[in-house]
């Protein structure tokens, strides 16, 4: 009769309810430790500003909670440890000591660690936003113990854990998005190429992007714009053609191909009789960003790269035909 009362009486159900609460609470704390602490402030700020409407709402609720990361971490771990330590004590009143240990370990491992962390690793944003008010209360409750520990961690490890990508890491991330373009990724291969090229501009100079003069199509200033010459120019497909004097390395300017449309096909006009525009010269060590800024002013879309040692023209480029290379 005593055993039957112990298993089926009111005290049994009270203990069972407490056990259920402790396992659930421990699992929630364990899941939140993984879910919330894996979300950096940078990730949350990005979601809060440019995420989907649902993600924005979630991120705005979570941001105030996770700003003091060490305080949040200490609170979650203290609550989790308290629940796991209390569970064997409650179980001990229902079963033997070894049974309490075995059951508590099983419950904590399955329902307090594995399942909650699996769920929160996938839906951590939604779960964190849903229980954000509860976490705020727990922070206040554990504040006397958690705050000194968090300040010690701030002193030893630093307060901020912003995971900002370096330029090379960001380029790799963009490349990964491009590789996943055919699998539902939102960036196309062309978009990733443009982004990667922009990230490389600060490290690239004119000498890295130029086209050697030997590979550049140019015309002599004294050449005739006969039918053969015009056909060759059209076949090249460039909008601007460098003009040189006597030798290809002596670039003196450029002509716009569209200006040749006004010339009568039967006239053999010399190149020097066509409007020749000035072409800027830039040193080979000039950063591509600076060259791009000069091009954006509209004065020219082509430049001659000059060797700084002997000041000889080295190459020329058509920026309009190669948008991702300010200098060819």
pLDDT tens for 257-275 read: 888 877 776 677 888 888 8
pLDDT at 325: 35
Strand partners, 253: 243
Whether 162 maps to a domain, the answer reads no
Does one domain contain both 218 and 274?
yes
Q: What is the extent of the structural domain holding 193? A: 167-200
Regarding whether 148 and 8 lie in a shared domain, the answer is yes
Phi first, then psi: give them for residue 246, nearest 5 degrees.
70, -50
Residue 90: the pLDDT is 82
Instruction: Give how far Cα 23 sits from Cα of 14, 107, 108, 137, 194, Å.
Output: 14, 7, 6, 19, 51
Instruction: Report how far residue 95's alpha carbon sits from residue 88's, in angstroms, rounded to the nearest whole number.
Output: 10
Segment among 94-108, 189-203, 222-236, 310-324 with least mean pLDDT: 310-324
Q: Is 322's pLDDT higher than 60?
A: no
Instruction: Indicate if the pLDDT at residue 298 is higher than 80.
Output: no
Share of the chain above pLDDT 70, in %: 85
Alpha helices (H) in the chain, listed in sequence order: 2-8, 10-37, 41-50, 53-66, 69-92, 97-109, 115-130, 132-157, 167-179, 189-200, 206-209, 227-236, 288-296
- Asked, for residue 237, whether it belongs to a domain, the answer is yes
- Does residue 90 fall inside a structural domain? yes
Q: Say how far apart CA 314 and CA 214 lie, in whole Å.
A: 9
- The reply to whether 148 and 244 lie within a common domain is no
Look at residue 137 in the predicted model and tell me its pLDDT. 93
Q: What is the pLDDT of residue 314?
A: 42
- Calculate mean pLDDT across residues 192-215: 81
180 and 295 within one domain: no
Residues 27 and 83 in one domain: yes
CATH number of the domain residue 241 falls in: 3.10.580.10
Distance of CA 91 to the CA centre of its chain: 49
Is 66 inside any structural domain? yes
Say how far residue 30 (Cα) sits from the centre of its chain: 28
Domain co-membership, 177 together with 55: no
User: Which pair of structure tokens corresponds to residue 249?
Assistant: 């390395």
Q: Are residues 210 and 303 in the same domain?
A: yes
**How is residue 293 written in tokens?**
């800024």
Point out the domain boundary residue: 98, 129, 157: 157
Average pLDDT over residues 104-119: 83
**Domains contained in the chain, number:** 3
The pLDDT, as a whole number, for residue 46 is 83
Q: Do 194 and 171 belong to one domain?
A: yes
- Asked if the structure places residue 293 within a domain, the reply is yes
More confident residue, 241 or 10: 241
Say yes or no: 177 and 219 in one domain. Answer: no
Report pLDDT for 143: 93
Average pLDDT over residues 194-209: 79
Condensed to tens digits (0 to 9), the pLDDT of residues 150-198 reads: 999 888 887 765 556 677 767 777 777 766 655 555 677 777 778 877 7
**Domain membership flag for residue 323:** no
Domain identity same for 232 and 280: yes
- Kindly state the tokens that stand for 132: 């954000």
pLDDT for 140 equals 94
| pLDDT band at residue 146 under the 50/70/90 scheme | very high
Residue 145 binned pLDDT confidence (cut-offs 50, 70, 90): very high
Is residue 124 packed enough to be buried (19+ CB in 10 Å), middle (13-18) or exposed (0-12)? buried
pLDDT of residue 315: 44
The arithmetic mean of pLDDT across residues 60-69, rounded, is: 88
Q: Give dist(CA 25, CA 140) in Å, integer.
A: 17
In this prediction, residue 9 carries a pLDDT of: 62
**Whether residues 49 and 31 fall in one domain:** yes
pTM of the model: 0.56
Specify if 326 maps to a domain. no
- Does residue 149 lie within any of the structural domains? yes
Are 142 and 242 within one domain?
Answer: no
Q: What is the mean pLDDT of residues 17-32?
A: 88
């Amino acid at each position: 009769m005593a055993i039957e009362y112990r298993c089926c009486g009111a005290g049994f159900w009270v203990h069972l309810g407490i056990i259920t609460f402790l396992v659930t609470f421990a699992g929630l704390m364990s899941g939140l430790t993984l879910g919330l602490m894996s979300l950096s402030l940078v990730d949350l700020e990005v979601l809060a500003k440019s995420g989907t409407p649902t993600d924005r709402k979630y991120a705005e609720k979570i941001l105030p909670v996770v700003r003091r990361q060490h305080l949040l971490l200490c609170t979650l771990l203290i609550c989790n440890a308290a629940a796991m330590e209390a569970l064997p004590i409650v179980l001990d009143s229902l079963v033997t000591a070894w049974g309490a240990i075995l059951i508590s370990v099983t419950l904590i491992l399955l329902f307090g660690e594995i399942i909650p962390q699996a769920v929160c690793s996938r839906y951590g944003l939604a779960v964190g936003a849903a229980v954000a008010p509860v976490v705020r209360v727990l922070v206040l409750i554990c504040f006397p113990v958690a705050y000194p520990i968090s300040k010690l961690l701030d002193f030893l490890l630093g307060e901020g854990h912003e995971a900002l990508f370096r330029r090379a890491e960001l380029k790799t991330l963009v490349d990964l998005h491009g590789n996943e373009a055919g699998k539902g990724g939102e960036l196309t291969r062309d978009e990733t190429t443009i982004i990667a090229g922009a990230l490389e501009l600060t490290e690239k100079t004119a000498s890295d992007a130029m086209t050697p003069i030997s590979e550049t199509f140019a015309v002599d200033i004294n050449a005739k714009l006969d039918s053969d010459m015009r056909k060759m120019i059209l076949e090249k497909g460039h909008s601007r053609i460098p003009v040189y004097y006597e030798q290809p390395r002596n670039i003196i300017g450029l002509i716009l191909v569209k200006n040749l449309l006004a010339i009568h096909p039967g006239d053999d006009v010399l190149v020097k009789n066509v409007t020749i525009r000035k072409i800027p010269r830039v040193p080979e060590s000039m950063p591509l960003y600076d060259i791009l800024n000069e091009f954006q002013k509209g004065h020219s879309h082509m430049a001659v790269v000059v060797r700084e040692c002997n000041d000889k023209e080295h190459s020329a480029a058509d920026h309009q035909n190669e948008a991702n290379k300010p200098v060819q």
